[in-house]
Chain A
Amino acid sequence: MNAFDFVVPRTVAEALAAGAGEGSAYLAGGTNLVDLMKAGVSRPARVVHIGGITGLDRIETLPDGQVRIGALVRNADLARLPLIAEATLSGASAQLRNAATVGGNLLQRTRCPYFFDPASACNKRTPGAGCDAQGGETRHAAVLGTSEHCVATHPSDLAAALVALDAVVEIAGPGGKRETPLESFHRLPGDSPQRDTELQPGELILAVRLPAAAASFAAHARYVKARDRVSYAFALASAAAALKLDGGRIVEARLALGGVATKPWRAREAEAALAGAAPGAEAFAKASALALSDARPVGDNAFKIELARRVVVRALTLAAAGTPKALPALPASPFGVSR
C-alpha cells in the first residue's frame, strides 16, 4: 500500500474541500478501496474518511413516498426494502455487508482478475495498456455492453435491483448538488473504460432515491443469482424482476441483469414486451430472448448467455408467484425455497 495523507472531515462541505485535490479518494466502508490499495491498483495520495459524517446513514421515507437511502447506509441495513433486500443479501458475506455502504457499492470496481493484477494489461487500470481478459479467462467477463477495450462486468447485485426500480443518485460536488438516474450513472466502457461512472473528480454520492412508484412492485419482486457456489460469490448471471399485475395481466414490468454486463443492465425491450402480456412461460421466454438479444460471447463464456436467459425466466416466474413474506435462507438462490 502506498503512503497517503489521512483526512477526517466532519461535514459534507469539509469532505468536498478535502476531496477536491488531485489523487484524493473518499473512504467509507473500505471493503473495496482498502482491498484495491493492498493490490496496488488504487494509489491515492490522500484518503478522505467520510464514514463519520452524520446524516448520511439514514433510510427515510419522504412525504411524497420516495425512499431516500443515505450513501453511508450499510448494505446489511437494507433488509427492509423488497427486491433491494434479496439482491443485497445475496452479495458478499455478512462481514462485508456490515462494512460496505450503498454509495461504495455503486462505486465498487470490477472484480475482473486482470484489473486486479498489476502484472496484466488492463485498459481500465492503465488506459491504452490493452486487455488481457480477451484471450484469457472469461468466465466472469461480460456478454453485454462490451467494447474492444474492455469486457469487465460491473459486479454489484444491489445496483441491478436499484436500476430496475428507477433509482436516482444524489451527488454533491464543488459546483453544488445534482442528481442523475442510476441507469445513466454508470458508463459503457467504449474507448475509455477507466471511467466507470459519470461521477466527476471530487464529487461525492449523498444518497440514492427510490421513486414512490417503486412501492407498486413490492408484491411481485424477486432477485435470482446464479453463481459458482450458493453463497458468497459474484454472479455469473443474475436478474432483478419486478411486476405489477392486474386482472391476470402484467401492467408493467421491470427487469435488470447483473453479472453479464459492463454496467447494471436494464432490459427495456423485454420490459416493453411483458407489458400487457399474461404472466407465464411464453411471455417470459420471449422476454428472456429479448433481454439477451444483443449479447456477444467473449472467449469461452457463451454459456452465460443461455444461463442468463434461464435466470431471467426463473426471476420472472418467482416474481409472478409473489414476493415471499420472509426471504429464503439462501437469498436469490435458484435452489432456494421461500417460506
Chain B
Amino acid sequence: MPVAISATINGVRRDIALDDPRVTLLDLLRERLRLTGAKKGCDRGQCGACTVIVDGRRVDSCLVLAATLDGAAIRTIEGLAHGDALHAVQAAFIANDALQCGFCTPGQIMSAVAFLEEGGDWRDPEAIREGLSGNLCRCSAYAGIVEAVQQAGRELATHKEAA
C-alpha cells in the first residue's frame, strides 16, 4: 500500500511517495534519494553504520520505517559540511586518523556530532567510549575516534566561548 510523507532532509523539504510501507529510512536515503553516506552494515540495529539524526536524536536508520517520518527533520552526513568547510567532527576525524577502511565513518561522525550536541562529556574518554558504543568499527580505529571527538569537542567549546 502506498504511503505519502513529507520530511525535511538536510534542510530541504521533500514530498516523498512510498510505494511500500516496508521501506526503512536507510533504504529511502540510499536507494531512492541517492544519499549513500549512511551505510548498511548489519541492517539490524547492532552496528550503527546507518546512524542519522532525526528530530535532533541520533537513531539507527535501518530500524526506522520511513512511513513513520511524516513531518520529521532528518540530518545525514551529507548535510554536515558547508561547501568545502568541513564540520569540526569531520575535520577532527581526518586530523586524528580516526578511520581505516571508512565504512563505519559516516555513522561514527553522525553519532559523535549528536553526542556533542547532547552535551556529552568530551573531556572524559570513558564517557566518549560509552556514548559511542552503538557504533562498531571492525578496523578498531577506536583510539583515533576518541581522540577525534575530544579534539572536536574542545574546538566547538572554544568556538562557542569566542562567539
Query: What residues of chain A have their CB less than 8 Å away from a CB belonging to chain B?
Result: 1, 3-6, 8, 27, 30-31, 34-35, 38-39, 47, 49, 51-52, 74, 76, 92-96, 98-99, 231-232, 329-331
Q: Given the known A-B contacts A30-B68, A231-B133, are A99 and B59 also in contact in the complex, defined by CB atoms under 8 Å?
A: yes
What would be 11 A-B contacts, judged by CB atoms less than 8 Å apart? A27-B65, A30-B65, A31-B63, A34-B63, A38-B43, A93-B60, A94-B118, A99-B64, A231-B129, A232-B133, A330-B126
A235 to chain B, nearest CB (A): 15
B67 close to chain A: CB less than 8 A: yes
| A94 engages B134 (CB within 8 Å) | yes
Smallest beta-carbon distance B18→chain A, Å: 9
- Residue pairs across A and B with CB atoms within 8 Å: the count is 91
| Contact present for B130 and A231 (CB under 8 Å) | yes
Contact of A93 among B21, B48, B67 (CB under 8 A): B48
Decide if B44 is an interface residue (CB 8 Å cutoff): yes
Q: Report the minimal beta-carbon distance from B144 to chain A, rounded to whole angstroms.
A: 19
- Contact residues in B for A74 (Cβ distance below 8 Å): 57
The answer to whether A95 touches B60, judged by C-beta atoms less than 8 angstroms apart, is yes
Nearest A residue to B132, CB-CB: A94
Interface residues of B in 10-40 (CB under 8 A from A): 20-22, 24
- Residues of B within 8 Å of A, CB-based: how many? 36
A1 to B63, CA, bound (A): 12
Which A residues lie within 8 Å of B24 (CB)? 34
Among B43, B60, B129, which residue has the most Cβ atoms of chain A within 10 A?
B60
**Binary interface profile of B, 128-160, with partner A (CB < 8 Å = 1, else 0)?**
011111110000000000000000000000000
Q: Which residue of A lies closest to B21 (CB)?
A: A6
- The answer to whether B126 and A329 have CB atoms under 8 Å apart is yes
Q: A106 vs B3: C-alpha distance in the bound complex, in angstroms?
A: 29
> B18 — nearest CB in chain A belongs to which residue?
A6
Q: Say how far B28's CB is from chain A's closest CB, in angstroms.
A: 14
For B43, list chain A residues within 8 Å (CB).
38
**Once the chains are docked, how many angstroms separate the CA of A99 from the CA of B63?**
9
A329 pairs with B63, CB closer than 8 A:
no
Q: Do B3 and A95 touch (CB < 8 A)?
A: no
**Is the CB–CB distance between A329 and B124 below 8 Å?**
yes
Residue of A nearest to B20 (CB): A3
Residues of A within 8 A of B51 (CB): 95
* Residue numbers in A under 8 Å from B111 (CB-CB): 94-95
Interface centre among A74, A94, A95, A331 (most CB of B within 10 A): A95
B109 within 8 A of A: no
The distance in angstroms between the C-alpha atoms of A39 and B131, with both chains bound, is 28
B134 to chain A: which residues have CB within 8 Å? Answer: 92-96, 232
Which of the residues B21, B45, B68, B131 comes within 8 Å of A31, measured between beta carbons? B45
- Known A-B contacts A27-B68, A38-B44; A94 and B131 likewise in contact (beta carbons under 8 Å): yes
Asked whether any CB of chain A lies closer than 8 Å to the CB of B114, the reply is: yes
**B-side contacts of A27, CB under 8 Å:** 65, 68
Do A76 and B60 have beta carbons less than 8 Å apart? no
Given contacts A34-B65, A95-B48, 19 further A-B contacts (CB under 8 A): A4-B21, A5-B1, A6-B21, A27-B65, A34-B24, A38-B44, A49-B67, A93-B135, A95-B45, A95-B60, A96-B45, A98-B58, A231-B130, A329-B121, A329-B126, A329-B127, A329-B130, A330-B126, A331-B130
